[in-house]
């Protein structure tokens, strides 16, 4: 098994899968360049490794295949951790908070999972929300799984679904842009912080990433990123 | 009164005038042969009578009713005069019987049983009672043309227009079709037909009309037209076709 | 090559594939039937209908033929609600397929109509059939018969093109592959299997359509008897 | 995420349309070159090669381009090749385009009258000489309208590369629709861009075909 | 020794045997007319001699060399016998001159200047020296067929095979092509031709071969064949075509 960390150093370049459909973690500006929490995080890692950064936009559905097929070295795309995923890839320490929940306009009455009965909920295929909601949603709730967050959000905005499951900060970013439909948090599905994903059996890489994250937490770098994109300090329990 | 009355009929395609003023009255039971050189306007005249071409000037009336070019009048006209084409124009996706039945059912709204009975009767009349379920491409040219005649007859028209109904046939099949036309004439059907079969015209027709350059150049009973042509054009035409 | 192929996931996810195949079949049956019907209407409008209608049809046909199906789908699903037209994703997918096939089949059918000998129309007219009756009883069937193989190919193309409807969360065969790979992380295997299924569907669909044509246009068979 | 105005949308879409054009050109040129090679195999004298190419065309015409894109994207990666979306998109589109062009061109070759083969054979030409001097020049001419017509399908086919993450005009459209909350405008513009790219090709294919039917002269 | 020697030649398409054992020897300078009803196998025989069809049994040799079915032998054979087709088969994308030059350059590897000179000479010989730069679709049928003859002649074959070279021509163009063939015969070219022009065959040929149902039924000098046919089949054939 090759040493991924050495390969990265040798290449002088790290390829990182980031979202571009998932504000505030990753989205595009007027110039279509990616920006957001995950992008800053990727830049931080590259900086600490002393290599160049190559951003590869991915979707929730295809980011793991990207990693498995070695199209990228790391996935920094607000990815949550679960057992299934842990079986095929490895995770670092968490680098960002993420609370996902069900969101809907004010006039839709939902307070807990059982209220989803008979409703149509949009979710991004392959995301943690998808996996979790599939577990907790009642039998007669309809989950519409979209290819990427663009699809999920567009479906919500165009009224094709009544509610969506996504992260609280994602919803917040959405509200900030003053959309035609205002999502409000109905209930929390899971507290599922974001982890960096990478291929298995790379102890050197894992150690290096974890130490970078530790340092960044300690010296306030991560807090700055959090302030910048989430508008709040990094939670202490992360 | 004439069954078909054509007065000062003119017809142009674009700038070329093809019919330059035709007057022709056909009485009930008359059998008229239109003869003339290729391009003289014979087909065009028939097509005008059937409303397949819009006329530019003059008038056509059938059974006292004026030909007016809207759908309703055209349909009424076409119920009175049937037309048979050189190329048969049977519907290839329908059997002989269905070919004969179609217009009866669709236009005349006859119940199916009646249409079948009529189709059998008409196919019988043209000697094809055993071909009811054959498709056109299973029939010889002569048989196809006889089905086409049966199809027109089933609409019970007052007159039939025939445009060179034997020209597309192999020589050995011409006779069977001419026999059917001969029978129709004998039964008193009003017929206007374009033909190159001079012997047949002489034999069957009550009047022969010779067209030349878009005009009726000469006309009369067959004996007179064939034995005693008045104009050099007709003389040369008759000499030509022998 | 370090990658190990693994098809264990089939044991878990085969119901998703069955559901996906069924949805794809439903889409193409509805899209095919209604699409061809629309194609016939448009072909009529362009060759015999009133001028203004022919003109509108021509614009419709060219617009559809010169833009990608995916964009038509997005436009219908995400765009139309902005104008107040809302439909489920399955309805949107079916509508997009109907509109797409309608435009292509209109051109194909029109070619068949134009190949109809003029004498057929005249024979219809001289039997006092109205233009519409002539179209319906005399012209249409032989025209369809002539272009049936081309029409079959187009239906197969639309069926294969329907693989993008999973983009709007229609749970078709491609959705099954996407869903499976997002759970089992076996992307290559999932797509490989669904590609094979599509190939089988395409072959079966073509076969079925051609057989259907032989049945509808029975004359052909009898003629060669 | 600052305000994105109409001008930004339009500008970004036009920039992305550049990729659509580039990708179309790559597919068409690459597919054309591969198509020529395969054409010789398809109409050549080696029967197993003919069968192989026939199967190739059946498979690529009988499966969705989308699936071919996915497989190129994830399959090539498995072979240890580093596949950016552009490479996967190019590969799949070239293979797909070639499959259709081979069949179009084969049709053109078989449309050449049998008499041309016989006449050139009776003059003592070999198979290759017949192809080179008699058959292909004629087939080439009649192949132009359908080939131009097919290029429209290629341009439209590039839209599917958005699904594997290649940022051409369709992908830019989905991102922008999401960022601006104006799907109607954005997808309308995207459709318009495709129309502007494709319609001239459609028109010229039709015109060429008409011209060819009027005069089939050298 | 015969220039073309055919012995016990058999040819089938699938299960139907089209040539059922043909023996025919053609000497240098002979002009042979193949006559017979449609389907009797005349074209097939010519095509076998030119190697366009694989034979099933028997042997063909030209100028002492056996016909063997591989590309090298076929090519050698085709350099010895040229063939002219009913449908001309000119290359539509090349001018008359280029049509005549092509095989010279490609097959015989003649330098371009020589090929041009030869093309001019041959086009001149068939009376078309002014049509060097015309494309086939700018020529009449008769002119096209003469170009086809020039094209074959430019390869300097020892014999020419002609399959109904005037059948696709309008009547008024037949004579110009026949005149060219007549000249060739007079110049001593060995010719085997399928023809329906009986008067021409009688006039020009040294021998007439009557084929019937895949066999040579009768053959001999024209006077004998036409004036004194031995078999009822030939009698009926001659009576038929007048
Ligand atoms: N649709 C048309 N458009 C233009 N010119 C036409 C059309 N139909 C017929 N013509 C011209 O009208 C003239 C008369 O044609 P018509 O078919 O009536 O002659 P005809 O007497 O029936 O000849 P034929 O014996 O060859 O059938 C011809 O010069 C013909 O070229
Ligand atoms: N490629 C083929 N496949 C099958 N049968 C063929 C083929 N070519 C010719 N035949 C059959 O072989 C027989 C002889 O044909 P051939 O063309 O040699 O006749 P022919 O004497 O030249 O007739 P014609 O005067 O009509 O040209 C015919 O019955 C024909 O149907
Ligand atoms: Mg006429
Ligand atoms: Mg022959």
Q: Which domains does chain D have, with CATH numbers?
A: 6-217 (1.10.3720.10)
Average pLDDT over residues B136-155: 94
- Chain C residues within 8 A of A68 when measuring between CB atoms: 185, 187
**Domain, as residue range, for E101:** 91-156
Distance E41 CA to ligand 2 centre (A): 6
Residues E206 and E229 in one domain: yes
pLDDT class of C33 with cuts at 50, 70, 90: very high
Pairing state of beta strands E207-212 and E31-36? parallel
**DSSP-assigned states of every residue in C42-74:** HHHHHHTS-HHHHHHHHHHHHHHHTS-HHHHHH
- Kindly state whether residue B86 falls inside one of the protein's structural domains: no
Nearest by Cα to A96 from A187, A167, A176: A167
Mark whether E145 and E71 lie in a shared domain.
Answer: no
User: Is residue B189 one of the residues assigned to a domain?
Assistant: yes
Query: What is the signed CA dihedral for B6, B12, B17, B23, rounded to 10 degrees?
Result: 0
Contact B116, B154 (CB under 8 A): no
Q: What is the pLDDT of residue A85?
A: 86
pLDDT value for B68: 84
DSSP D134: I
Structure confidence at residue B241 (pLDDT): 56
Q: Residue D215: its pLDDT value, please?
A: 60
Q: What percent of chain C has pLDDT over 90?
A: 77
Q: What confidence tier does D151 reach under pLDDT thresholds 50, 70, 90?
A: very high
In eight-state DSSP terms, residue C200 is H
Structural domain includes residue B127:
yes
- Our measurement of the distance from residue C150's CA atom to the centroid of its chain's CA atoms, rounded to an integer in Å, reads 12
Chains with 3 or more CB pairs closer than 8 angstroms to D? A, C, E
Peptide bond into D160 cis (omega under 30): no
E151 plus E49 within the same structural domain: no
DSSP single-letter state for residue D201: H
State the Cα angle at C53 between C52 and C56, rounded to 5°: 90
Q: How far, in Å, from the CA of E149 to the mean position of ligand 4?
A: 18
- Compute the distance between CA of residue A188 and CA of residue C55 in angstroms, rounded to an integer: 55
From the CA of B217, how many Å to the nearest CA of chain C?
28
* Cβ separation D198–C66 shorter than 8 A: yes
Query: Rounded CA gap, A157 and A176, in Å?
Result: 14
State both tokens at B173: 């099949």
B5-14, C113-122, D80-89: segment of lowest average pLDDT: D80-89
Q: Which ligand is nearest to the CA of E211?
A: 2
Average pLDDT (E123-142) is: 94
Does B217 fall in a domain? yes
Q: Considering only CA atoms, which of A82, A61, A45 is closest in space to residue A126?
A: A61
pLDDT value at residue D3: 67
Q: Concatenated DSSP letters for D142-188?
A: HHHHHHHHHHHHHHHHGGGGGGGT--SHHHHHHHHHHHHT-HHHHHH
Q: What domains lie within chain C, and their CATH numbers? A: 13-223 (1.10.3720.10)
Same domain, B164 and B75: yes
Bridge partners (DSSP) of residue A143 are A121
Last residue of one domain, picked from the residues E156, E176, E204:
E156
Q: Are strands B4-13 and B57-62 parallel, antiparallel or unpaired?
A: antiparallel
Burial of B241: CB neighbours in 10 Å, binned 0-12, 13-18, 19+: exposed
CATH number of the structural domain spanning residue E177? 3.40.50.300
Are residues B199 and B98 both part of a single domain? Answer: no
Question: Cβ contacts (< 8 Å) between A56 and chain D: which residues?
Answer: 84, 165
Model pLDDT, residue C118? 92
Ligand 2: residue whose CA is nearest its atom 1: E13
Q: How far is the CA of B39 from the centre of ligand 1 (A)?
A: 5
Residue B85 in any domain: the answer is no
Closest Cβ–Cβ partner in D120, D121, D137 for E93: D137
Q: Looking at residue C166, what DSSP letter applies?
A: G
Question: Tens digits of per-residue pLDDT, C63-119?
Answer: 999 999 999 999 999 888 888 888 889 999 999 999 999 999 999 999 999 999 999
Report helix, strand or coil for E176. Answer: helix
B236 lies in the same domain as B171:
yes
**pLDDT reading at D2 higher than 80:** no
Q: Whose CA is nearest to atom 16 of ligand 1?
A: B41
State how many domains chain E has.
2
Q: Touch between chain C and chain D (3+ CB pairs, < 8 Å)?
A: yes
Give me chain D's average pLDDT, please: 91
Which is more confidently placed, C1 or C54? C54
Nearest by CB: C77 against A65, A126, A160: A160
Task: List, for residues C36-68, the tens digit of each pLDDT value.
Answer: 999 999 999 999 999 999 999 999 999 999 999
| pLDDT above 70: percentage of residues in chain C | 96
Q: Is A158 on the interface with C (CB under 8 A)?
A: yes
* A159: nearest CB among C81, C89, C179: C81
pLDDT value, residue E241: 56
| Residue at which a domain ends, from B99, B134, B156 | B156
Structure tokens at A90: 């490895």
pLDDT of residue C224: 40
pLDDT tens per residue, range B158-188:
999 999 999 888 888 899 999 999 999 999 9
B213 and B164 in a common domain: yes
B110 interfacial to chain C (CB closer than 8 Å): no
Q: ipTM of this complex > 0.95?
A: no
Same domain, E109 and E202: no
Answer yes or no: do B225 and B171 share one domain.
yes
DSSP E strands in chain B: the ranges are 4-13, 16-26, 31-36, 57-62, 65-66, 81-84, 159-163, 190-194, 207-212, 215-220
In a domain, B122, yes or no: yes
pLDDT of the residue at C221: 45
pLDDT higher than threshold 70 for residue E34: yes
Distance CA A56, CA D84 (A): 9
Tell me the three state secondary structure of residue A162: coil
What sign results for the dihedral spanned by CA atoms A222, A223, A229, A233? positive
Q: Can you give the pLDDT at residue B135?
A: 93
Instruction: Please state, in angstroms and as integers, the Cα–Cα distance from residue C12 to each residue in A177, C166, C180, C196, following that order.
Output: 41, 20, 9, 19
Cα–Cα dist D124/D131, whole Å: 13
Please say which residue of E156, E176, E206 terminates a domain: E156
For atom 30 of ligand 1, which residue has the closest CA? B39
Would you call D175 and A21 a contact, using CB atoms and an 8 Å cutoff? Answer: yes
Q: Same domain, yes or no, for E76 and E170?
A: yes
Same domain for B96 and B116? Answer: yes
Q: Are A151 and C169 in contact (CB under 8 A)?
A: yes
Give me the mean pLDDT over the B211-218 stretch: 94
Tokens 């990433």 -> residue: A209
Q: What is the pLDDT of residue E242?
A: 47
Q: Judge whether D75 and C188 are in contact, CB under 8 Å.
A: yes
Smallest CA-to-CA distance from E155 within E108, E86, E209, E120 is with E108
DSSP code for A22:
B
Chain C contact for B112, CB < 8 A? no
Same domain? For B162 and B233 the reply is: yes
Give the residue on D whose Cα is nearest the Cα of A57.
D165
pLDDT digit string (tens) for chain A, length 238 residues: 578 899 999 999 999 999 887 888 988 877 778 889 999 999 999 999 999 999 988 887 778 888 887 888 999 998 988 888 888 899 999 999 988 899 999 888 898 889 999 999 999 988 888 988 998 899 999 999 988 888 888 888 888 899 999 988 888 878 877 777 888 888 988 888 999 999 998 999 999 999 999 999 999 999 999 888 888 888 887 7
Whether E11 shows a pLDDT value over 80: the answer reads: yes
Note whether residue E235 is domain-resident: yes
Could you tell me if residue B163 is inside a domain?
Answer: yes
Residue identified by tokens 């039939």 is B160
């Amino acid at each position: 098994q090759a040493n991924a960390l050495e390969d990265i150093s040798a290449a002088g370049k790290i390829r990182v899968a980031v979202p571009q459909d998932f504000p505030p973690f990753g989205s595009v500006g007027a110039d279509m360049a990616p920006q957001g929490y995950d992008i800053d995080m990727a830049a931080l890692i590259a900086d600490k490794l002393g290599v160049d950064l190559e951003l590869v936009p991915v979707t929730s559905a295809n980011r793991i295949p990207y990693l498995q097929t070695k199209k990228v070295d790391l996935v920094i795309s607000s990815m949550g951790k679960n057992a299934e995923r842990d079986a095929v890839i490895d995770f670092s320490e968490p680098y960002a908070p993420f609370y996902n929940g069900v969101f809907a306009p004010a006039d839709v009455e939902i307070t807990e999972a059982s209220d989803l009965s008979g409703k149509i909920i949009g979710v991004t295929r392959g995301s943690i929300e998808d996996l979790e909601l599939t577990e907790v949603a009642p039998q007669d709730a309809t989950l519409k799984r979209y290819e990427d967050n663009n699809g999920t959000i567009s479906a919500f905005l165009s009224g094709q679904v009544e509610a969506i499951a996504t992260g609280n900060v994602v919803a917040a970013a959405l509200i900030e842009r003053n959309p035609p439909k205002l999502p409000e948090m109905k209930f929390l599905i899971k507290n599922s912080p974001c982890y960096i994903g990478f291929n298995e059996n790379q102890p050197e890489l894992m150690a290096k990433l974890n130490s970078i994250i530790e340092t960044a937490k300690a010296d306030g770098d991560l807090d700055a990123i959090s302030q910048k994109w989430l508008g709040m300090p990094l939670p202490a329990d992360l | 009164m004439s069954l078909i009355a054509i007065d000062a009929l003119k017809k142009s395609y674009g700038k070329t005038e093809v019919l330059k003023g035709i007057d022709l009255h056909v009485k009930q039971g008359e059998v008229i042969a239109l003869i003339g050189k290729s391009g003289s306007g014979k087909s065009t005249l028939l097509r005008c009578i059937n409303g397949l071409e819009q006329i530019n000037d003059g008038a056509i009336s059938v059974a006292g009713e004026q030909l007016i070019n809207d759908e309703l009048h055209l349909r009424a006209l076409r119920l009175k005069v049937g037309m048979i084409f050189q190329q048969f124009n049977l519907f290839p996706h329908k059997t002989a019987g269905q070919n004969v039945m179609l217009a009866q059912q669709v236009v005349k709204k006859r119940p199916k049983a009646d249409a079948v009975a009529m189709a059998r009767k008409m196919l019988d009349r043209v000697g094809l009672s055993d071909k009811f379920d054959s498709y056109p491409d299973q029939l010889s040219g002569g048989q196809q043309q006889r089905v086409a005649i049966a199809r027109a007859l089933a609409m019970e028209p007052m007159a039939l227009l025939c445009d060179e109904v034997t020209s597309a046939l192999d020589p050995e099949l011409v006779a069977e079709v001419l026999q059917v036309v001969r029978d129709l004439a004998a039964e008193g059907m009003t017929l206007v037909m374009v033909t190159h079969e001079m012997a047949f015209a002489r034999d069957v027709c009550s009047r022969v009309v010779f067209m030349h350059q878009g005009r009726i150049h000469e006309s009369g009973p067959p004996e007179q037209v064939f034995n005693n042509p008045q104009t050099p054009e007709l003389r040369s035409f008759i000499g030509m076709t022998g | 090559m370090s990658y190990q192929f693994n098809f264990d996931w089939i044991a878990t996810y085969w119901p998703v594939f069955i559901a996906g195949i069924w949805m794809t079949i439903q889409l193409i049956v509805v899209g095919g039937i209604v699409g061809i019907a629309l194609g016939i209407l448009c072909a009529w409008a362009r060759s015999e209908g009133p001028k203004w209608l022919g003109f509108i049809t021509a614009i419709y046909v060219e617009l559809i033929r010169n833009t990608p199906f995916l964009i038509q789908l997005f436009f219908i699903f995400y765009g139309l609600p902005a104008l107040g037209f809302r439909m489920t994703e399955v309805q949107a997918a079916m509508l997009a397929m109907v509109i797409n096939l309608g435009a292509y089949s209109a051109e194909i059918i029109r070619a068949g109509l134009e190949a109809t000998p003029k004498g057929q129309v005249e024979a219809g007219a001289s039997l006092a059939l109205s233009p519409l009756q002539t179209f319906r009883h005399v012209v249409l069937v032989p025209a369809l018969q002539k272009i049936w193989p081309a029409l079959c190919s187009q239906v197969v193309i639309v069926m294969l093109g329907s693989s993008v409807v999973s983009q709007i969360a229609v749970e078709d065969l491609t959705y099954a592959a996407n869903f499976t790979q997002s759970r089992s992380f076996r992307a290559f295997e999932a797509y490989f299997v669904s590609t094979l299924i599509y190939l089988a569907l395409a072959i079966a669909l073509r076969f079925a359509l051609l057989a259907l044509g032989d049945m509808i246009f029975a004359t052909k068979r009898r003629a060669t008897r | 995420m600052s305000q994105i105005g109409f001008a930004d949308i339009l500008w970004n879409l036009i920039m992305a349309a550049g990729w659509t054009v580039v990708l179309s050109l790559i597919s068409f040129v690459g597919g054309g070159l591969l198509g020529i090679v395969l054409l010789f195999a398809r109409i050549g004298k080696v029967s197993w090669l003919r069968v192989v190419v026939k199967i190739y065309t059946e498979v690529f015409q009988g499966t969705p381009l989308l699936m071919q894109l996915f497989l190129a994207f994830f399959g090539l990666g498995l072979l240890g090749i580093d596949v950016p979306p552009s490479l996967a998109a190019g590969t799949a589109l070239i293979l797909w385009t070639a499959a259709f062009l081979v069949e179009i061109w084969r049709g053109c070759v078989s449309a050449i009258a049998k008499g041309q083969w016989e006449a050139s054979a009776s003059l003592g030409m070999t198979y290759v000489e017949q192809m080179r001097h008699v058959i292909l020049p004629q087939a080439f001419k009649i192949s132009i309208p359908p080939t131009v017509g097919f290029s429209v399908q290629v341009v439209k086919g590039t839209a599917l590369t958005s699904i594997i993450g290649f940022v051409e005009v369709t992908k830019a459209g989905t991102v922008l629709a999401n960022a601006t909350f104006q799907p109607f405008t954005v997808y309308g513009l995207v459709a318009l861009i495709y129309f502007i790219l494709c319609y001239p090709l459609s028109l010229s294919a039709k015109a060429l075909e008409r011209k060819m039917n009027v005069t089939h002269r050298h």
